[in-house]
């Protein structure tokens, strides 16, 4: 378990953007939605959600892209690394890509979300709960 007092550092591939998230994440999930796949170029993305008050950019400034109404995705303008996701429907939260954390192994996923969008050839036998959308919420990510 991640201690609640711990600080977690992360950043992009080239090092131009760095961030810090404090405390335990609210959740950690594999997201299989089409939007995350397109934004990352990967079959799915693993996210950790933190309270916005526990998150700070410590170097550089992420560029922002409005991938859908009410959604802002943060990324490094220099190297393109996807870093954050913020949405009106998750007010007060910042989601960070687990792969950009300096110690990603400390953030094991707890659930799969948007499995209705999962690629048919992705088969993970990890025993984690799976949801067609985001938990019981409907709509697009």
Report pLDDT digits (tens) over 47-78: 999 999 999 999 999 999 999 999 999 999 99
Considering only residues 137 and 6, tell me which one the structure prediction assigns the higher pLDDT. 6
Is 109 domain-assigned? yes
Is it the case that residue 137 has pLDDT exceeding 90?
no
Number of structural domains found in the chain:
1
Question: Is there a domain that residue 84 lies in?
Answer: yes
> Side by side, which strands form the sheet with 55-59?
7-11, 18-22, 55-59
pLDDT digits (tens, 9 = 90+) for 8-59: 999 999 999 999 999 999 999 999 999 999 999 999 999 999 999 999 999 9
Q: Are 98 and 46 in contact (CB under 8 A)?
A: yes
Task: Look up residue 83 and give its two tokens.
Answer: 């870093």
Distance between CA atoms of residues 27 and 137, nearest Å: 15
CATH of the domain at 108: 2.170.150.70
82 assigned to some structural domain: yes
Name the 3-class secondary structure at 16: coil
Domain assignment of residue 123, yes or no: no
Residue 94: what pLDDT?
98
Torsions phi, psi of 123, nearest 5? -130, 105
Q: Cβ distance 114 to 134 under 8 Å?
A: yes
Q: What is the pLDDT of residue 140?
A: 43
Query: pTM of this prediction?
Result: 0.89
């Amino acid at each position: 378990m991640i201690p609640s007092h711990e600080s977690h550092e992360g950043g992009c591939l080239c090092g131009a953007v760095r961030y810090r998230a404090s405390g335990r994440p609210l959740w950690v999930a594999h997201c299989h939605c089409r939007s995350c796949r397109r934004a990352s170029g990967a079959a799915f993305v693993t996210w950790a959600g933190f309270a916005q008050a526990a998150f700070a950019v410590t170097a550089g400034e992420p560029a922002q892209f409005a991938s859908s109404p009410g959604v802002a995705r943060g990324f490094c303008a220099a190297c393109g690394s996807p870093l954050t996701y913020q949405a009106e429907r998750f007010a007060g939260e910042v989601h960070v890509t687990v792969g950009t954390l300096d110690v990603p192994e400390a953030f094991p996923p707890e659930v799969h979300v948007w499995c209705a969008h999962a690629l048919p050839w992705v088969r993970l036998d990890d025993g984690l709960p799976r949801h067609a959308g985001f938990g019981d919420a409907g709509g697009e990510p």
